[in-house]
Amino acid sequence: MSFLLGVAIFVVALLGSIMLHEAGHFATAKWFGMKATQFFVGFGRTIWSRQKGETEYGVKAIPAGGFVKIVGMTDLEEVDPADEPRSFRRQPGWQRIIVLAAGSFMHFALAFVLLFIIAAGIGLETGSAGTTVGAVESCVPANVNLGCAKSDPKSPASEAGVRVGDKIVSIAGIRVTSWTQMGKAIRAQHTGSAVPVVVDRRGQLITLHAKLASLTGHGAYLGVSPLAVFQRVGPTGAVSYAGHEFWTMLSGSASVVANLPKAIPDLFAKNRADTPGGQVTSVVGAGNVTGQVLEARIGWQPKVGLVLLIIASLNIFVGAFNLLPLLPLDGGHLAVVIYERARAWLARLMGRPDPGPVDYRRLVPVSVGVFALLVGVGLLLIMADLVNPVHLQ
């Protein structure tokens, strides 16, 4: 149930991000007096729409994006002579640049706000609360980098009945007051042996019996993680955190795009998580990871924080990717406008007339090719996430 809720949260967040993206284009276009005739979420057949003023608002059947119809985006479009003065193509270059960049700006603004909320509202992890259990692992993974598989046995802590919030008092008779001491006490035991684990559960001492497992590279394994202590920070600290994380995610997004060619061959590899293929995912994979976070037996603060980080990271990636100078992305249209203005400026310097707008007919084959490539890569990522998903560690 938690898994499905996580996927649902991601889908709603994704649709919300799309609406904000299109709202950025729409609001700036209207601000500059351009005529926008449609504002839709989704593609395909119209499910619902409503006309308000000169704009039709609605929802379409395929929730895979959205669009705002601004009159006269290119010279290929036929425009009613009465609407021509308000068409996109007749506006100053700086206004067109703002309208085109507004979609990505909304993604970036949303991501920054979410990162600010994490620091100021949820809090940042500052350490662990002694021996209090923050998470109970569900299995003994055969490979710690691949997470749990269906064939992996349950973790000793899960089998013994250890719960999140329990404070571990002793392991095999060895009293422990810190996570370091507890780790040493566990590793001092023989794997396969049943040891008493005394926990303080809401003031009551309970003795549980855990049969310790063996985890490759770690020795004896109980399967618990510490409860993290979270500290909320003030506005200045939250802005600093948001700025730092924003830059880190933006750099990571650039790295993901750069490594995409190397990642594709590893998408269906058994060790995908350990390869560049584990760093790229589709919306299906991101929804799956969100579901795994909500299903994990951890406290509400790390759970909510991780979900917000996923949504923030998605928005930063989409915002940055959309600015790539490739048609039909917004960045491609931006590149065309900038090229037109630079060419006009050079013409003025040389005393020549303005060469006018770029001939979009020459760019159509490039735009179609890039669109086909993006659809192909997107479908490949979705297929990989369905048949070879990446599991959280």
Predicted confidence at residue 133, as pLDDT, reads: 87
Nearest to 115 by CA among 305, 250, 267: 305
Question: Could you tell me which residues come within 8 angstroms of residue 160 by beta carbon, excluding any fewer than 6 positions away?
Answer: 197, 208, 209, 210, 211
Amino acid at 218: H
What are the sequence ranges of the domains in the chain?
Answer: 126-231
Distances (CA, A) of 86 to 103, 199, 222: 20, 71, 68
| Number of Cβ atoms within 10 Å of the Cβ of 75 | 15
Predicted confidence at residue 366, as pLDDT, reads: 84
If you search the block for the tokens 């940042």, which residue do you land on? 124
φ, ψ for residue 199, nearest 5 deg: -125, 150
- Decide if 58 contacts 68 (C-beta within 8 A): no
Q: How confident is the model at residue 106 (pLDDT cuts 50, 70, 90)?
A: very high
If you search the block for the tokens 């589709």, which residue do you land on? 282
Question: What is the CATH number assigned to the segment(s) 126-231?
Answer: 2.30.42.10
Please say if the pLDDT value at position 32 is more than 80. Answer: yes
Predicted confidence at residue 392, as pLDDT, reads: 62
The alpha carbon torsion through 316, 322, 325, 329 (nearest 10 deg) reads 180
The counts of H helices and E strands in the chain are 9, 10
What the block records as the tokens of 89 is 């193509």
What mean pLDDT value characterizes the chain? 87
**Helix (H/G/I), strand (E/B), else coil: 227:** strand
Please say if the pLDDT value at position 25 is more than 80. Answer: yes
> Which of left, alpha, beta for 137 (phi over 0: left; psi -120 to 50: alpha)?
beta
Question: Could you tell me which residues come within 8 angstroms of residue 393 by beta carbon, excluding any fewer than 6 positions away?
Answer: 144, 145, 147
Please say if the pLDDT value at position 393 is more than 60. Answer: no
Which of 301-327 are b and which e, b meaning 16 or more Cβ less than 10 Å from the residue's Cβ? bbbbbbbbbbbbbbbbbbbbbbbeebb
**Helix (H/G/I), strand (E/B), else coil: 117:** helix
Task: Characterize the bridge pairing of strands 213-215 and 219-221.
Answer: antiparallel
Choose between 197 and 142: higher pLDDT. 197
Amino acid at 329: L
Catalytically annotated residues? 22
**Sign of the Cα pseudo-torsion (312, 64, 55, 104, in order):** positive
Residues 296-323, mean pLDDT to the nearest whole number:
88
Q: Which residues face 8 on adjacent strands?
A: none
> Taking the mean position of all CA atoms in its chain, how far away is CA 290?
9
Q: Write out pLDDT tens, residues 160-217.
A: 999 988 999 999 999 999 888 988 998 888 888 889 999 999 999 999 999 998 887 6
Please say if the pLDDT value at position 105 is more than 90. Answer: yes
Predicted confidence at residue 146, as pLDDT, reads: 57
What the block records as the tokens of 337 is 């406008």
Rg (CA), the chain: 27
User: What is the C-alpha to C-alpha distance for residues 156 and 145, in angstroms, rounded to an integer?
Assistant: 19
CA atoms within 13 A of residue 276's CA, in its CB half-sphere: 13
Task: Characterize the bridge pairing of strands 194-201 and 167-171.
Answer: antiparallel
